[in-house]
Amino acid sequence: MTFPPPTSTRPTSTAPTSAASATAVSGTARTTARVLTDADGRRIAPWQLVVRYVLLLAVLALTVGPFLWQLSTSLKGPQEDIFSSPPTFFPSDPTLDNYGRVADTIPVWDYAYNSLKVALASVVTNCVGAALAGYALARMRYRGRRAATLAFILAMLVPVEGIIIAQFTTMRDLGLNNSLLGVLLPGSIGAMNVLLMRNAFLSLPDEVEEAAYVDGANVWQRFLMIAMPSVKGTLAVVAIFAFMGAWDDFLWPLIVLSDPENYTLTVGLNYLHGTFATDERLVAAGTVIAVLPLIILFACLQRYFFRGVGEGAVKG
């Protein structure tokens, strides 16, 4: 099942039949200049619309408000009272000072750079590894394919939180604890991503590849030139979730990294929060640095985020 991106269904205000029947039923319905209808062409009464928007705004305040409050706190100067009651939502004298000061307290830009390195590496390893393995599971024939598929399914079912200590001892044995490579490796090729790619390859028709085969294309050519271009959408989903997963991860880097020099941003923020009797303005600035890249990414690539939820949920 594929998830229909919610944004794809625009309001269809031209549904004459149902609009007309609605008017006929209600008889004396006022004929407004613009009749508001939903995706199915059903009319929405004005009072209903008002209630809806009020509720929407209330939820909006609840979900986005805390982020804005954090942003506001991060922009308040040292003289401004951040604890005032009633609260002041707009900084009286907005300043970017706190972003400089947080960098004096912890090497926040180094941490961000570490996170970025791990996240980008994770995107590459997941895309390449999952595409290769997914192709092998979906479109190649060999003995042991079932066993390989089963291995990925089992791996997907193993809860990360339950094996974290064993992963930690594995990393120690490999001498990779306290390194960014150690942070990257366990999530470098997600079993779920492999299965997502497998499903994407499975849904391609065989005929095109067969034609290429007849034309003499070998397996690498078929993989790169024919199969890959057809699964770009799923690949984008894998890339986004690999980035988000690596950038947002906390428990694993917390366990594997012991030296503050190698911290990723999430572990660094926890350190900032816990170690110093903190100025809330600094923590706020740090969290804004951590969340902004993802919000921008999300704003640009929403439909892949939503699509990933659909595919992932059906899988999981």
Q: Pick the closest to residue 122 from 234, 238, 246, 237 (CA basis).
A: 246
Candidates 20, 29, 45, 56: give the one binding other proteins (CB under 8 A): 56
Site for other proteins in 24-43 (CB under 8 A): 36, 38-40
Nearer to other proteins, 167 or 179 (CB): 167
Binding status of residue 232 toward other proteins by CB under 8 A: no
Binding status of residue 167 toward other proteins by CB under 8 A: yes
Site for other proteins in 242-261 (CB under 8 A): 244, 247-251, 254-255
Binding status of residue 234 toward other proteins by CB under 8 A: no
Nearer to other proteins, 98 or 287 (CB): 287
Candidates 159, 259, 277, 300: give the one binding other proteins (CB under 8 A): 159
Pairwise CA distance, residues 81 & 67, whole Å: 19
What six digits make up the tokens of 8?
């794809």
8 Å CB contact between 29 and 23: yes
Nearer to other proteins, 88 or 100 (CB): 88
Site for other proteins in 196-215 (CB under 8 A): 198-199, 201-207, 209-210, 213-214
The residue count for the chain: 316
Question: Considering the complex, what minimum distance in angstroms separates the CB of residue 28 from other proteins?
Answer: 19
8 Å CB contact between 177 and 171: yes
DSSP 237-253: HHHHHHHHHHHH--HHH
Binding status of residue 169 toward other proteins by CB under 8 A: yes
Candidates 95, 105, 149, 178: give the one binding other proteins (CB under 8 A): 149
Amino acid, res. 239 = A
Place of tokens 């984008």: 236
Candidates 35, 120, 219, 228: give the one binding other proteins (CB under 8 A): 219
Binding status of residue 69 toward other proteins by CB under 8 A: yes
Binding status of residue 52 toward other proteins by CB under 8 A: yes
270-to-210, 284, 296 alpha-carbon distances in Å? 54, 12, 23
Binding status of residue 23 toward other proteins by CB under 8 A: no
Candidates 62-70, 91-99, 106-114, 226-234; binding stretch for other proteins (CB under 8 A): 62-70
What would the 3-class secondary structure string for 97-155 be? Answer: HHHHHHHHHCCHHHHHHHHHHHHHHHHHHHHHHHHHHHHHHHHCCCCCHHHHHHHHHHH
Site string for other proteins, 97-136 (x = CB under 8 A): ----------------------------x--xxx-xx-xx
Amino acid, res. 200 = A
Instruction: Name the 3-class secondary structure at 43.
Output: strand
